[in-house]
Chains A and B, each alone.
Chain A
Amino acid sequence: MKVLIVDDEFIAQELLKGFLESYDAIWNVAINGIEAVEAFQLALAQRDPYDLILLDIMMPQMDGHQALREIRRIEAEEGIGGTDMVKIAMVTALSDAKNVMEAFVKGSCGAYLTKPVYPEQLHRVLLDFGLVDEK
């Protein structure tokens, strides 16, 4: 499983990496929306797309919402749709209705986790996304 962790906070990055260590996963880290979109495009070009993107919202330069919309736009351009769309889970401290619904409705994210995140929550998401089997 190939994962892109997008977060500007070092602690958050480390925490998510820590979670992923217990799975058979490789990961990259991006520190803002711009890097995230570039990493996503690069992976597409290399025909080795990400299975999962863990995306923070509050980040410098380009925030998570923008990044999410950009990723979906690129997918639409490339004709990638349906279940081929990359699975994205928002991982953020923001939990107000506007942000949550924007991520779901405008960005078609698959899951929304509010910080602090616990390993069980992430595991649940991986299960929902069909990235891991029930252990």
Chain B
Amino acid sequence: MKDQFSPDHIEMVEEFCQEIRDLLDELEPVIVDMGKGCGAEGQQEDISDDINGIFRLFHSIKGAAGFLNFPNIATASHSAENLLDLIRTGAMSLQPDHIDLFCQGCDFIREGIEHVCEHYEDEGLSTQSQVIRDRFLAAIEVDPQEAPEEQGPAVIDLDLDPASLISPEMSKNFVSESQDILQTMETALLNWLKDKGNQDLHGDVFRQIHSFKGNCGFLGFADLESLSHHLETAIDLARSGGAADPAKIADMALNLIDIYRETLADIGEGGPGKIEGLSIYLDMINDQLPPQDRVAQDVAGQEPDRLGDILVEQGAATKAEVDVGVAQQSRQLGAILVESGAVSHDQVDRALETQKERKKKKAGAGKVKATKRQDLRVDLGKLDQLIDLIGELVIAENMVVNSPDLEEMELDHFQKSSQHLGKIVRDLQEMAMTLRMIPVSGLFRRMIRLVHDLSRKSGKKVELILSGEETEVDKTVIETITDPLVHLLRNSMDHGIEPQDVRLEAGKESAGIIRLSAVHEEGNVKISIEDDGGGLPRDKILAKAREKGILQDAADMPDSEIYKLIFAPGFSTAAEITDVSGRGVGMDVVRQNINKVNGSIDIKSRAGQGTTVDLRIPLTLAIIEGMLVRCGISRYIIPIINIMESFRPNPGMITVGPDGQEVVKVRENLLPVVRLHDLHNVAPDNHELEKGILIVLEARGSNFCLLVDELLGQQQTVIKGLSDYVSSFGNAGGVSGCTIMGNGEVCLILDVQSVLDRLNEGGY
């Protein structure tokens, strides 16, 4: 393609693209800015400079594109010029949709630039160019006499496609902001449900829906806005003690939050943000309200336009039938009536059509509300880059401070400054790690809703008690444990907590208790799900495992191992599959997700008293505090969190077991000894325990001693993963990774847990 064009032409096009891009960057803000003041009376004077500037933009593009023989870009720019000229001369007044149009023009030109950069001609743009030209033409052809008269305040006309006005950036922000709002609202609603008389709690709910409505309106999502407006009214009435029943309203609001979420997801994927069956939801809300307070849906307000009424009107259903349907408000009225056989699908569809038509004229003006935020959303990729760079900085700092060139030199001032530098680097590192950390409260709050729904579905009363919500963990950890947490809670609800009568018989409170807690433990975060239900049925699990062929001999299996069987794929003890659980998929998901983040799962269960599931997940610290040790010529890093103490043993402390396992007695405790030189086959300085150093290591509650030749000191260690080749051997000899030393040497990081595992398996 490129060969057809002369180098001159190519150079010219590249220059063109660069210049026009700059020009667009400069003038687009002017266009948008001009949009803010437009529409109001007497503003035309002030914007003439802007208009001229924008005219020149399109003029320049037209000229340059013409020169380069890009007719499509040139003509599109020309049509923009025409409209601008009419506005400039006062033949037309500037309308909000004109701004919209100019923005579209700029977008087209940007696209055009990308296109010509690649192809050096603009033939491929003819369709888009035509579209743009038509739009400008249409805008010009609007009767200029009428437009200024009819012009209202600067309200964005919602009949226009609002999506074209909203940048992807804006809608992305809107979606994430709204999700936060909905989250808060959900929590507020559940609190309010518990204490309906509380005005403060009610206020919380009201504020959230109100700001949500504002945001929707601001961005022109008419469906979301009108639904929120209705809901707002309903919630308001529920407080003032009108005929509306707070409990019903709150339940309805919870259901609607799901609708909002779906719609937001749609918007997030670039959808128009329309709500299917909006009218039905609006009816649903109105039906909860006393007649005089119902939100007017029809501008005329004369025709009844509720679906039920229309069905009655068309003779498809009797009033009584409809009322029965209305009474079951939790589902779509139409669906209920079809199900109960009162009306047919066709009839409902017809009625829905009618309803749609009647609502077409419904007015909804966008309310402009600016929301201020204190925080800044940063691309996670950038953050990771920053953290990586700081990791490199730590290495570099180590390299400088421990430089071999400086060894054995007396450098008082250098020592002082390097210590200062070291402190700053460590602070920076800590800061960087916290950047990625978010509290688990958001995750936990979502569970409140889950438990609420499940408890309604199953009829079991359950109280969820949260603790440690403020515990912070890495964002990726939150993402990975969301699904497992849902499955575990469902399990607790479905299998753990017994039905009320069983509980009462067993002498327990009728309401079950599930505790969800998070706490930092060593380098991990521990998340516990604890229920006071019936406990895991050990025998049932064993029987099922034998049946599935997962397990042959279980004679000496500890309970904790038996419980772990429930994580096997396809394993379920449920007699029948409900929509909550029973397929045996859930626990497998839990296991896989936890494994993915190098976490572990422990289950404790006591029959009749409940089950506790502990998830331990590393905080994904890319940097650890490590102890540098030497064994022969090799150096290793041992994570400080695993080190309890170190000592040089007396001969009297050492005994050798019948199987040859050396054991050291440390303050009444007998600890097995692992020789690091055996582990990695290196030649040690000496083989006698008394001449080496024993380090007492601890991992998940078990201790052992590790024999090394020398302790070299404590240092910050940046973990570098082992290459895929090395890790493909599976557990690479008790090593979790490596690090680069100050002098550039590579040094292995010991994985205390896996050393211990192998010790327990009798590997040493």
Interface residues of A (CB under 8 A from B): 72, 76, 79-83, 85, 95-98, 100-102, 104-106, 108-112, 128
Contact = CB atoms under 8 A, between A and B. Distances in A.
A108 B52 CA distance: 12
Contacts of B20: 105
Given A97-B8, A97-B11, A108-B59, A81 B67 contact: no
Given A81-B56, A109-B63, A111-B67, A97 B49 contact: no
Given A82-B85, A97-B15, A105 B48 contact: no
B587 interface: no
B54 to A, nearest CB: 9
- Chain A, interface SS category: helix
Given A97-B8, A97-B14, A83 B85 contact: yes
Contacts of A100: 12, 15, 64, 67
Which of B19, B49, B81 gathers the greatest number of chain A CB atoms within 10 Å?
Answer: B19
Contacts of B84: 82
28 contacts: A79-B49, A80-B52, A81-B51, A81-B55, A81-B56, A82-B81, A97-B12, A97-B16, A100-B15, A100-B67, A101-B15, A101-B19, A101-B64, A104-B16, A104-B19, A104-B60, A104-B67, A105-B19, A105-B20, A105-B22, A105-B23, A106-B19, A108-B56, A108-B63, A109-B63, A110-B59, A111-B66, A112-B67
B630 interface: no
A52 B188 CA distance: 70
Given A85-B55, A96-B11, A112-B67, 19 more contacts: A79-B49, A81-B48, A81-B88, A82-B84, A83-B85, A85-B56, A95-B8, A96-B8, A97-B11, A97-B12, A97-B14, A97-B15, A101-B12, A101-B15, A101-B16, A104-B16, A109-B63, A110-B63, A111-B67
A104 B51 contact: no
A79 B48 CA distance: 8
A108 B60 contact: yes
Q: Nearest 4 A-B pairs (CB), nearest first? A: A81-B52, A104-B64, A97-B15, A105-B19
Contacts of B81: 82-83
Contacts of B18: 101
A105 B66 CA distance: 12
B385 interface: no
Contacts of B14: 97
Nearest to B65: A104
A85 B57 CA distance: 13
A79 to B, nearest CB: 6
A97 to B, nearest CB: 4
B240 interface: no
A108 to B, nearest CB: 5
B12 A85 contact: no
Nearest to A75: B52
Contacts of A96: 8, 11
B89 interface: yes
A22 to B, nearest CB: 24
A30 B343 CA distance: 88
A81 B51 CA distance: 8
A19 B22 CA distance: 37
A7 B354 CA distance: 73
Contact of B88 (A82, A110, A128): A82
B89 A82 contact: yes
A128 B59 contact: no
A76 B49 contact: yes
Contacts of A104: 16, 19, 60, 63-64, 67
Interface in B1-39: 8, 11-12, 14-16, 18-20, 22-23
Contacts of A80: 52
A35 to B, nearest CB: 24
Given A83-B85, A98-B15, A112 B63 contact: yes
A104 B74 CA distance: 13
A82 B15 CA distance: 25
A72 B63 CA distance: 15
A95 B7 CA distance: 12
Contacts of A101: 12, 15-16, 18-19, 64
Nearest to B59: A108
Contacts of B15: 97-98, 100-101
Nearest to A76: B52
Contacts of B49: 76, 79
A97 B23 CA distance: 16
Which of A82, A98, A102, A108 gathers the greatest number of chain B CB atoms within 10 Å?
Answer: A82
A110 B16 CA distance: 15
Contacts of B55: 81-82, 85
A77 B31 CA distance: 20
A109 B64 CA distance: 9
